[in-house]
Every structure is written in structure tokens, then in C-alpha cells.
Amino acid sequence: MTWFFISLLIMGITGIIFGSLLLFKPGFVEKLRHDLWKEKNDTWPEKEGYFYDKYTRGLGLLIAGMLFAGFAIYSLI
């Protein structure tokens, strides 16, 4: 059972790091949108897609990572 909480802590720390990189590192979202997150359908304009990737994905990962890490630390103590 301890391994579950350790893996939850690792996932939480990873989410915190990646979410904070999306939110606070300049040029990180542009690099990902150019390489990995290249979408085939253009339903959103460029600016709205950028804001979705930066704020929705970034805040979602940051908050989920904090919840995972906090729950894992609380359970391990």
C-alpha cells in the first residue's frame, strides 16, 4: 500500500513541475504547440488555443499535482 502513495507522490510532483513550467516559463507553450501539441483540426484560433494550453492545461496540472502530492504526503505521515 505504501507503493501506491509513493507513486501518487511522484505523479503529483511531476504534475506540479510540468504545470508550473506551462504557466511560468516563457516560450514553453509555444515550443510544445509547435512540436508535440500540433493539432490537425483548427477549430480554435491560434490565440484561443494558446490560452487554453497555457492556462487550462497548466492550472489543471498544477492543481491536480498539488492535490496528489498533498494526499500522498498526508497518507504517508
3 Cβ contact partners less than 8 Å away, ≥ 6 residues apart: none
Total domains present in the chain: 1
pLDDT digits (tens, 9 = 90+) for 6-49: 999 999 999 999 999 988 888 888 887 777 666 665 666 667 77
Question: Does the pLDDT of residue 65 top 70, yes or no?
Answer: yes
Between 50 and 26, name the one with better pLDDT. Answer: 26
pTM: 0.79
Which residues span the domain enclosing 56? 2-76
Task: pLDDT band for 51, please (50, 70, 90 cuts).
Answer: confident
Whose CA is closest to 73, among 16, 2, 5, 18?
A: 5
